[in-house]
Amino acid sequence: MDDQQVWDIGMMRLEGLFSGLSAGTRFALAQQLTRYRKAKEALAAVVVNVAAASLCRECGGQCCLNGKYRVNVFDALAHVAIQIPVAADFSQKPLCPYGAATGCTMEPGMRPADCIVFLCDGIDEKVSLQDRAILAAQERDVRECIQEASFLMGELLGSPLLLWAEKNSNTSKLKVQRQI
């Protein structure tokens, strides 16, 4: 099974999980998703304020290489909840399958948590002490959202979507094999 097939399985499973939620759970999840998106937007805003775009252009986006495991289950669920599909092109290795020549195809609040919380050395050198406090608080909020949503859903939502879907796919195959 290739990455695209595993991705499709994961997204279908997420859509099924989401559609089966009770109204109360959906409401609680929506609150976590909003908090998650806002925390990631705040993280991205700090990075933008240190002129990261020029640093990224100079380095060529080295942090975006081999990014197929960056989207976690909660990141993908955020897209499912607002019905905005993630365009994933797994054929452009080693480039990130969620990017294009112009950079990430996702808005900052919808980008993978791993990407948003990462600071390369060049950006890290430019971040002030005050901004470090903001980054730490927002990163803590991102992680709490994942943890609280995982509890709500009964799933480990911080796992990379591809690994989660592959594990689910393998478990499903075992169940089918045992029934035969």
What spatial distance separates the first Cα and last Cα of the chain, rounded to whole Å? 21
H/E stretch holding 131 reads helix 129-153
Query: Is the predicted pLDDT of residue 39 greater than 80, yes or no?
Result: yes
**28 pLDDT higher than 50:** yes
pLDDT over 70 (residue 170): no
pLDDT bin (cut points 50, 70, 90) of residue 169 is low
Q: Give the mean model confidence (pLDDT) for residues 128-132.
A: 93
Q: Is the pLDDT of residue 145 over 60?
A: yes
Using only C-alpha atoms, what is the Rg of the chain?
17
Write down the pLDDT at residue 50. Answer: 83
- What value does the mean pLDDT take over residues 60-83? 89
Q: What is the pLDDT of residue 180?
A: 37
pLDDT band at 176 (very low <50, low <70, confident <90, very high): very low
Mean pLDDT, the chain, integer = 87
Across the range 131-141, mean pLDDT stands at 95
Q: What is the DSSP letter of 180?
A: -
Tell me the whole-structure pTM to 2 decimals. Answer: 0.87
Residues near 90 by beta carbon (within 8 Å), at least 6 away in sequence: 2, 3, 4, 7, 68, 97
Report the pLDDT averaged over residues 10-24: 94
Segment 46-63 shows an average pLDDT of 80
